[in-house]
Structure 1
C-alpha cells in the first residue's frame, strides 16, 4: 500500500549517479485565466535544479502541464493534427516509453496499453494538462500524492526502515528511498543522539542537544549548526509528519561521524577523536592505546577500535603496554614513573623520588619489571620493579644517546642502538667558536648486553655505515632490522643478524616503510608499492618468501599487530597530521580522524 505524502512536489535525477534533491515550495505564481480555468505554478527540483510546473484544478483534481512535466523528465511532447493525439515520449529503441492522450478523454494509451484516467485530460490555452501519476508511471517512474506530489522519474519510491550500526549496536530508523537515494527520519536519528526535534508551521526543523542547536528548513539545502551555516547534501522532505534528510548531514550536524568500511558503515555519536594521533599499541583484541596531540596539549587515549569510543584518558605520553595488556608505564617531565591500570582505569605513582630522565620503557615478559634508558644524555640502562618501584642500574658506558631499546624473547639480553659522537674542532682555545664537526664513523650501531652476567658488557653486533631502524629480536636470538642508505637511491633492505653476527639480506626489492616481529615470532614489513598501494607482508626468514597480509590505497606510515596476531592497526594521513586506522573485513577503517 502506497503511503500518501504531504505538500510536496519532487522530481528525482534522471542521470545516473545523481543525487535525489527534493524540494517543497508550493509557491503559487500569479494566476491567469484561460478558458475560464485558473492556472498556478508550483516548483520542483530536478537533478538539483528548481523547475516550474504549471497546474490547473478541474473539479477537485489538480492537473499538470505535459510540457513542464516532459521537460522535467527529459521527454518530448508532440501533437498530431489528424488524430488529435498528444504523444509524450522518452528514450529510444527498446527503452522508449510513450503515453498518448486526447483532450477531454478519460483514457490514455501507455506503452501500447489502454489505461483509465481518473480525470479527463484538459487543454488550457495551447497546453494539455493531465494527471501526474499515469504520466510519470508510463515513463518508468513512480509517484505518491498528498496535496502535492512526490515524483521519481526513474525508479520507485519506498517508505521503510533500516538498521544502522550505532557504536556497535543495531538501531532501526525510518527511511525514504527514491531512485536508490536514501533519506533518513530526522526524528529517529535525533533520538540516537538524545536530541529533541521541533517542526514549526513553516516547516523549519530545530534539533537541540546539550551544547548544540541545529536548524534547517524542509525543501532548502542550507543547515545551521550553532549559527554556522553550510549546504546540505540533499534537500530534506516531509512525509506524513516525518522529516527525512541526508544521514551524513544529520550525523555531522549533531557532532557525530560516519565511518565507512567497504559496504558497511558505523555511526560514532560523539565523533572520532581529532588532532594528530599516532603510536597505536594493542591492549586487547578490541582496544588500543594511542598518543593524541592537539592545540591543548598531548595525552594518551584508550580507544575501542570497533565502537570508536574513548574508554580512558591518561595525562601522559609514550606509554608502554605490559605483555598482558592490563598495565602501562610512563614517565612525566619530572622523571617520575607512573603505573596505569588499564582495567580499573586508575593511575598511581610508582616512583616519585628519582627525577632523572627516563624513556623507552620495555616490559619484562613476566610483567614484574621494565627496562628503560636513563639520564640527560640517555647513556644508562635501568630497570624499575613493579612491586615497589625501586630502580636498578643494568648497564652504563660513555656512549651517549642510546635508543631503540629491545628485550630478547627469552629475556636474557637487551639490545640498543648508539653511535659515536662527532669530533668537534674549534677555532680558539676557549672552545667557543666551532670550526668543523667530523662525523666520520659516527653511524649508529647495535649493541647487546647479557642480563645473565654479574658484570654486563656491551657487545657490538653491527659495524656497518648504513642507517639502522626497527630492530627486533626473533625467538632464536637473531635480530632483524631495516637498513637504508641516505647517500644513495637504493631501496631500504630488511636484514637479519644471525649467529656470529652474520648478515643476511631478507628483502631487497621493496620500498620498506616499517617492520616488526609479532608475538607469534612472525616477521612483518610495511611496503609502499610502485602501484601506489601500501602492503603489509609476512616474511619467512628462512625461505625469504613474502606473503601478502593486507593492502590499501592509503599511504600507511606505521603499523602494529595485536598480541594474538589477528588484528592490525596503522597510521596514515588525517585531517591534522596522522590518524589511526584499523584493518577490518579487508579494508582499513578510521579509528580517529
Structure 2
C-alpha cells in the first residue's frame, strides 16, 4: 500500500513538472529551433572501473554537467538489486530500500518519498542513466574513492568476527565473542552478507559436519547439540554432562568423536541418531589434545602432554617449599590403531620439541608443527607409523597448519612486516608459495582454492588473488 501511494504521489509530482515544462515551451515558442539545438551537448558513454561491495566491476557511466551518471542496469546487477517496471516507472529494489524513477524527469521516489535530482534521468543507447550518488544513497549504500576507483558498499559487515570455518565454497561460520556469550554467524564469503545462526553462553565452537549441512557443539554443561545450518534449528542429541573437548565428525556424519574427561583420557563417540555414547579408546593415557580421526574411524592421532611434576619438602610446614620440576615436560605425537593385533597407544615421536596442529588424513602419517626451542624457527614435520620423520617445510617461522583436500596449507612468518602462505603436497614434499600477507595474519581457514585469514581490522577472503573483507 505504501508503495502504491508513493507511486501516486510521484506520478502527480512528475505530472505537474511535465505540465509546467509544456507551458514554458508554449510561452517561449519564439525561441528558434536552431538556438535550442545549439545548447545540446553530446554525451559520451564509457566503461568505468568501480569497486562494488569489494569486487572490481565495469560500469557504463556518463559525465553530464559535472555529475557522474551511471547505468542503472549495470549498477543494479553489480549490487544484486532487482529491477521492475510499471506504468513507465522503473524501480530499483535492494533489501528494504527502493528507488523509483521515470526517464526525462528530475524527480524520483526513495522508499516512497519524492526527492529532487540535479538533472533528469537520461536514456542513451537504450539505457537509463541516473546520478550515481542519489541512487547509491537511496539503496542504503556508501561511496568513497579507493585507489583511484569509486568504491560502493551496500553490505553491513559484522564487527569483531573471528575463528572462520568454511561450510562450503560460498559460506563460512564466523564467531563474535563477548564477555557474556558467543554468537555465530553464517557469512556469504562472496558478499559479506551474514545471518545469525546461534548465540550461546559457555558453549563450544561449532564444528561443521562433512557436506556442510550441519554443525555440532556442546553447551556449558557438556550436552551435545546438532545445528541444522539451513533451518538454524538446534537439536539436543545427548544430555550426558561429562566434559567433552576436541569434537570431530565421522566421515559419514553419523557420529561425533571427542575427548572425554577433565584430563582428556578417553576417546569416545556419540551416535547422532540415537545419542548413545560409547568409549572407543581407553588407553590410560592422560592429557590428550589435537584429536585427529581417520576416515574409517579406526585410527586416532593426537598429542600427549607430560605435565611438570610438583615436589614438596614436608618437614617444615611453615614454609612454602613446593617446587616444580619441568625437566620431564614434553609433548609427543601418539597413534592408536584399533585394528592392530594388540591395540595400544604408540608414541611416534620422542624428541622434546614442542608440537602443534596435528593433522592426519588417514592415520598412517601425521603432520605437525615442530618448535625445537624458543630461538629456533618452527617447521612442518611428518611422521609415519614406523616413526620415520621428515621435514616438509622450513620456510620462515611456521605459525599455523591446515589440511584441506589432501594438501597442507601453512602460514609462516617471514619477517617483522610480512608472512606467507604455502601449499605443500605431502605425497611429493613439493611446496608452492601462494600469497604474501601482512605479519598480523592469523586464523588460516582453507576450502579448496579459497582461504580466509584474520588481519588487524577483520577477516579477509581471497578472491581471484586479492583479499577482500568479510567482517570488520
TM-score (ref. length: structure 1): 0.57
1:587 equivalent in structure 2: 466
Query: Match for residue 330 of structure 1?
Result: 217
1:334 alignment partner, SS class: coil
After TM superposition, the structure 1 = structure 2 runs for residues 26-105 of structure 1, keeping only pairs within 5 Å, are none
Aligned partner of 1:159 among 54, 61, 69: 69
Instruction: State how far apart, in whole Å, the 1-side matches of 2:134 and 2:263 are.
Output: 57
Q: Does residue 1:568 correspond to 2:451, yes or no?
A: yes
Q: Deviations over 1:53-110 (max 9, x none)?
A: xxxxxxxxxxxxxxxxxxxxxxxxxxxxxxxxxxxxxxxxxxxxxxxxxxxxxxxxxx
Q: Give the one of 344, 347, 358 matched to 2:234.
A: 347
- d(CA) in 2 for partners of 1:379 and 1:156? 73
- Secondary structure at the counterpart of residue 505 of structure 1: strand
CA distance in 2, matches of 1:558, 1:454: 40
Deviation at 1:566, TM superposition (A): 3.1
Q: Quote the residue 1:289 is aligned against.
A: 173
Q: Which moved more, 1:382-391 or 1:317-326?
A: 317-326
CA distance in 2, matches of 1:159, 1:284: 38
Which blocks of at least 5 consecutive residues in structure 1 are unaligned? 1-154, 173-186, 198-205, 210-217, 219-236
| Change beyond 3 A, Cα 1:262–1:348 | farther
Answering whether residue 314 of structure 2 is matched by residue 428 of structure 1, we say: yes
How far did 1:248 drift? Answer: 8.6
Mean alpha-carbon deviation: is it higher for 423-432 or for 399-408? 423-432
Q: Helix, strand or coil: the match of 1:164? A: helix
Distance 1:584 1:264 in 2: 19
Query: Is the CA contact 1:262–1:587 (under 8 Å) kept in the aligned structure 2?
Result: no
Which residue of 2 is the match for residue 143 of structure 1?
none
Q: Deviations over 1:409-463 (max 9, x none)?
A: 4432111112112111224367994521111121111111113359742111111
1:306 to 2:190 alignment:
yes
Query: Could you tell me which residue of structure 2 aligns to residue 506 of structure 1?
Result: 392
Q: Is the 8 A contact 1:526 1:536 kept in 2?
A: yes
Please say which structure displays the higher CA radius of gyration: 1
Question: What is the rounded CA distance, in whole Å, between the counterparts of 1:310 and 1:336 in structure 2?
Answer: 27
Partner of 2:420: 535
Aligned to 2:386, what secondary structure does the other structure show? helix
Give me the whole-angstrom Cα distance separating, in 2, the residues matched to 1:461 and 1:259. Answer: 56
Please say if residues 259 and 589 of structure 1, whose CA atoms lie closer than 8 Å, have aligned partners that are also in contact: no
Give distance in 1, aligned partners of 2:177 and 2:146: 24
Deviations 1:269-324 (A, max 9, x none): 4x11112x222222111111222214552122221112322244123441111112
Matches within 5 A, 1:464-503: 464-475=351-362, 477-488=364-375, 490-503=376-389
5+ residue gaps in structure 2?
Answer: 1-64, 84-89, 100-108, 122-129
CA contact (8 A) 1:164 1:267 kept: no
List per-residue Cα deviations over 1:468-504 (Å, max 9, x = no partner): 111111447211111113431x221111113421111
Matched, 1:389 2:275: yes
Residue in structure 2 matched with residue 169 of structure 1 by the alignment: 80
CA contact (8 A) 1:336 1:349 kept: yes
Assess if the C-alpha contact under 8 Å between 1:441 and 1:465 holds in 2.
no
CA separation of 1:493 and 1:468: change in aligned 2, threshold 3 A:
same
- 1:46 — aligned with what? none
Shift in Å, 1:362: 0.7
What is residue 99 of structure 1 aligned with on the other side? Answer: none
CA contact (8 A) 1:257 1:268 kept: no
What displacement does 1:261 show?
11
Contact 2:197 2:229 in 1 (8 A): no
Equivalence map 1:113-132=2 (5 Å): none
Structure number having the greater helix percentage: 2
Per the TM alignment, residue 385 of structure 1 is displaced from its structure 2 partner at its CA by 0.8
Q: Specify the alignment match of 1:359 in structure 2.
A: 245
* Inter-CA distance 405–171: structure 2 relative to 1 (3 Å threshold): same
1:398 Cα deviation (Å)? 4.8
Alpha-carbon shift at residue 334 of structure 1 (Å): 0.8
SS where residue 471 of structure 1 aligns? strand
Does residue 267 of structure 1 match 2:153?
yes
Is residue 259–residue 267 contact of structure 1 (8 Å, CA) maintained in 2? no
User: CA 1:558 to 1:165, structure 2 compared with 1: closer, same or farther past 3 Å?
Assistant: farther
Shift, 1:389, TM fit: 0.8
| 1:132-211 aligned within 5 A | 158-161=68-71, 163-164=74-75, 169-170=80-81, 192=94, 194=96
- Spell out, residue by residue over 1:150-174, the C-alpha distance to the aligned partner (whole angstroms, 9 max, x if none): xxxxx965534353368861568xx
SS at structure 1 position matched to 2:433? strand
For the pair 1:373 / 2:259, whether they are aligned, the reply is: yes
1:263/1:339 CA distance change after superposition, 3 Å: farther
Residue 332 of structure 2 corresponds to 445
Q: How far apart, CA to CA, are the structure 1 residues paired with 2:281 and 2:349? A: 19
